[in-house]
Structure 1
Amino acid sequence: MPSPGLPPPAAALLADVGALRRSSRGGIASGSASARALHGLAVAAGYAGDTFVASAFTKLYSTLSRGDDARRVFDAVPSPDTVLWNTLLAALSGSEAMEMFVRMVRAGSAQPDSTTLSSVLPAAAEVADVTMGRCVRAFGEKCGLAQDEHVVTALISLYAKCGDMECARHLFDRMVAPDLVAYNALISGYSVNGMVGSSVELFKDLVTLGLRPTSSTLVALIPVHSPFGHEQLTRCLHAYVVKAGFDANAPVSTSLTTLYCRLNDMDSARKAFDAMPEKTMESWNAMISGYAQNGLTEKAVALFQKMQALNVPPNPLTISSALSACAQLGALSLGKWVHKIISKENLELNVYVMTALIDMYVKCGSIAEARRIFDRMDNKNVVSWNVMISGYGLHGQGAEALKLYKDMLDANLLPTSSTFLSVLYACSHGGLVEEGRTAFRSMTSDYGFTPGIEHCTCMVDLLGRAGRLKEAYELISEFPKNAIGPGVWGALLAACMVHKDAELAKLASQKLFELEPENTGYYVLLSNLYTSKKQYSEAAGVRQEAKSKKLVKTPGCTLIELGDKPHVFMAGDRAHPQSDAINSYLEKLTTKMIEAGYRPDTEAALYDVEEEEKEHMVKVHSEKLAIAFGLLNTEPGTEIRIIKNLRVCLDCHNATKIISKVTQRLIVVRDASRFHHFRDGICSCGDYW
């Protein structure tokens, strides 16, 4: 309601402000534009210094997440009252709100009240600043506000978010008659801190006392932060939610969706999502990111497309999840479509979105486009640098990765543990052994990082790829025990396969069979190594052991996009509609390849089949079928891009080099470990993969 002393023009302005604040139509971007237009009218009419008008606009900007604009409104008022201070505190977050509270106390022109403390305590909780929280509590005790139930509840929430459940419970127990909000705060604290049993007991207490749970109670109770080990509780809570009629409530169903996604129960997650008649942005994000994080990338993209069809504007998290799905799929055309949406939604200044975009282009094989976007970013953070450095490593451009790392240090950015992982990865795939050693030493001596499992794995991989197997094995003995996982021994086994060291491979595989007895890949690697060295009885023994454990080899498959449609091929695949044409073309292509010097490499093929059959087996590997399909269906000179789920074999690597030469095509292959760019008979990896 407008202030009684304001003339009609101001009353009309304030009515418009209230209507705009209540309405969410048009999104934040258009809402901000309307807010600024109204604010301009208010300033022009001479109301910039009026506390009532200022409070209304501060609330409006807060609703639109425009903290800077709210601050400017406040600063234009010469003598802000307590209500205006409180409105601004509610609009700000974290350290900004705490700084403003200190400024209010020091100014002394307006007396803080319980609302003031109830606003600043959540800000302290947001950044887990328990010291600030205790200072606010002491101030409240001095001013006689510490016993206010809203202040006590805010303190309970603060202590809970800072992990001090003992203090939180102590405050709760001192309350004469805690209300439902206080119960919710403590239940949430128990859930967030993994004390799920205590949260359930407290929930039972409030029900026994006759308090009626609200949607906030259920959101607090659902163990989103500690999902594992509570699957049965999750089912019971879901049943209660349905029975109590909360399944249509967006926050409750979104929490259930998130919980099921973390449990990898995607069917139940989708049921909870679909039960919401009115989905919020958080709901869409929970389901899309859940699909992406659980490897269901096609479903993530499909749901994002549905969201677009319904004209629901995405936010940065939605875009980042969609880009992650495109990156995993290697779907460049879809990634470019999302890029257009980023431009349309004016999200090109968001560092998280642009970093995800760089990652997408890197993983879809467009390293040059990734670098172009990186260079155009004005607000790069350390994650942006890490992604670009790692991208160069993925594409075998180790020297570029090291140059970029130096540029990062020159820009006075401190590297993180992930930075060193990116650098080591790049050195490993670029054959830069000494540079990798230097980086590995530097992370400890210069920056104080303790190498983790992934860093140690990279070092073994680095030495192993370079053929320095003995050094790699000796280095493993120097690692802390908690840093020696399957990845370390797996890197050594893969290197033994490349350099044909059966003795060391046997030792590494024994460790792996103990650590991951159901991983078929290790058995396949060892068997292939024995076969390539013509140790057929040993190869048969390994295959028999895998068979006795009922282990099944992961089938190789290769994806290629034509237009915006993906085509997937398996080894020996005859299911594709163009199968006859593909195989016929491949026969003719093989003849040209042989004339150009190609000889099939059948070393790792099954030993108990005829040589002619071995040659046929390697000829119809999935990547060859995908490349043939691409060559058949694109214009001469068009770049071919394929994605293989496993490491590309030696024969296919050699064959693709020859194919790139005889067809005069650039062929980009993404396998399980890196990118290969084949041009004129040469691979970017330098046969080092």
Structure 2
Amino acid sequence: MPSLSLYLPAPAKLPPPPPFRPQKATNFDPLSNRLISHSNVGHLRKAITTLDLMSCIRSRNFDLGKLVHDRLACSQLEPDPVLLNSLISLYSKSGDWKKANSIFENMGSERNLVSWSAMVSCFANNDMGYEAISTFLDMLEHGFYPNDYCFASVIRRWCYISVYKVGITIIMAAIAFVGLALGHYVGCCLVDMYSKCTADGLMNDARKVFDRMPNNNVASWTAIMNGYVQRGRGDEEAIKHFVEMMSGLVPSNHFTFSSILKTCANLLDLCTAVKSGLASINCMGNSLISMYSKSGQVEDARKSFDVLYEKNLISYNTVVDADAKHSDAEEAFGLFPEIQDTGFGASGFTFSSLLSGAASICAVGKGEQIHARIIKSGFESYQSICNALVSMYPWCGNIDAAFLVFNEMDDWNVISWTSMITEVFDKMLEARIKPNEITYIAVLSACSHAGLVDEGWKHFKAMEKKHCITPGMEH
């Protein structure tokens, strides 16, 4: 761990910057470039190990990542900075800052900008404010001058440390010291940092950063709106910014809509959105339908659909899916002819939602009609459609039709197999055939791979309670 001092040097005492930025300060290399560089010089094993580690980090499977590290330690493979940086990231994100710091300290002269940045982020993530600040200053003193990616990485975590006020002062001084232009990437992170730092936020400072940024884009507009929304007292200000953004013809994205929808929710009802003219905007209305659907408010989702000035296939698909998922399948079926009349034509998503609705009310006749329409529309070979059919038919009591669809599929995935395994298992129980330990391994594995947590728990509990099978490690 770097030595700490409560007397942090002022930015003016930092060493003067070199006349040009050293090679050490280049941008982070993408993972693919790292792997290619390893392979090009014959280090295929290092490339594979790096890929293993990065896969474990991205999937947050830290225990497996530590096993990869153990394998590396037992091999004769000499770690290089890329591998060591990946290990720092692994232990940092798993919460083991001591191990991360040990690897960092042992790197010695092999430390580069990525190493330093990872260690600063590690301390910040663990609310070790003074250590994070001290390491950041050490990085500058060692001649590693952060680029915009490094600053953004540090800034994202700075608002979470207990000594954030000192950290903000140093960050802003360091940006000026290095001479980094305030671009969108760093600017958005600064706006986000200021808005999160205290209970009241530092929105005046966030606004100053926003105003200094050249040619604000969708990311910067969304960042400043998020800032007002997060404070809970700036909802009208957020809507004002949204209208200003739309007036300036700045294209919006789903993050923008997510932010403005939170504003409408804070202002209590849909009327605010309608009065502001927001709900009639096509993409905004679709977002409202989706939001209400996910929260189970089907009636409000339908109201949002009805006030849309111009509906598109996404609008129809979203409300059909909402009806199908919340036991209002007849409403979903009623919209299908309307979709056909508009000339949009149903999509694979439309058919999947309708099949889900048919399954929810065990309407095998409706399901067969939809299946016929699927064949007529040329969607019968789509994997997602086939999976929906394989799931729908057993729910409606026609497992033979499910087998027929399954056997005619060109390609099966885990969802296809899981649907068949679980349905066959249910039929097995209906036939009063007693399952054994091996049966449950297959069923539980299928549920696990398909992400069917509730279904898996149901079978796991029934294993001992109903069938007197004691769960083992393999289960």
Q: Tell me the TM-score normalised to structure 2 length.
A: 0.50
Q: Tell me the TM-score normalised to structure 1 length.
A: 0.36
Bigger proportion of residues as strand:
1
Bigger proportion of residues as helix:
2
Query: Radius of gyration: which is bigger?
Result: 1
Question: Higher RCO, 1 or 2 (CA under 8 Å, sep at least 6)?
Answer: 2
